[in-house]
Amino acid sequence: MKNRKWTGQKKLEIVLEGFKEKCSVAELCNRYEISQSQYYKWRDQFFKNGASIFDDKSDKVVDQLKGENHNLKHLIGDLTVELKKTEIELKWLES
């Protein structure tokens, strides 16, 4: 078998083609010049990780953005306090 690097998209296409059962796994592997063990590894990865595409990742993103927003508000508050202190010190030095 040739040693090639397959894209995730192509691996998915090959695994899904194997599910259609229009040909045997052996025929499919011969067509794409991969070993049957390679096909079964890809298939097992698909089964293991396939459910993750249906997970709601938007909640994680929202939580992350809320945390970042909170940190930025604190940073702005700290910088505002420092700016006010500097303004007061400059006024005191000018008088």
Q: What pLDDT does residue 74 have?
A: 96
Q: Which domain holds residue 68?
A: 56-95
The answer on 45 and 3 residing in a single domain is yes
Closest by Cα among 11, 39, 10, 12 to 24? 39
Is the domain of 63 the same as that of 47? Answer: no
In whole angstroms, what is the distance from residue 27 CA to residue 4 CA?
A: 19
Give the integer Cα–Cα distance in Å for 49 and 8. 12
Is residue 19 domain-shared with residue 6, that is, in the same domain?
yes
User: Are 34 and 1 found together in one domain?
Assistant: yes
Number of domains composing the chain: 2
Q: Which residue, chain included where needed, has tokens 């990865």?
A: 45
* Same-domain status, 86 and 40: no
Same domain as 62, residue 72? yes
> Do the beta carbons of residue 31 and residue 17 sit within 8 Å?
no
**What is the pLDDT averaged over residues 76-90?**
95
The answer to whether residues 80 and 42 belong to one domain is no
Question: What's the pLDDT score for residue 51?
Answer: 81
User: Are both 30 and 69 inside the same structural domain?
Assistant: no
pLDDT tens digit sequence for 6-46: 999 999 999 999 999 888 999 999 999 999 999 999 999 99
The whole model's pTM is what? 0.56
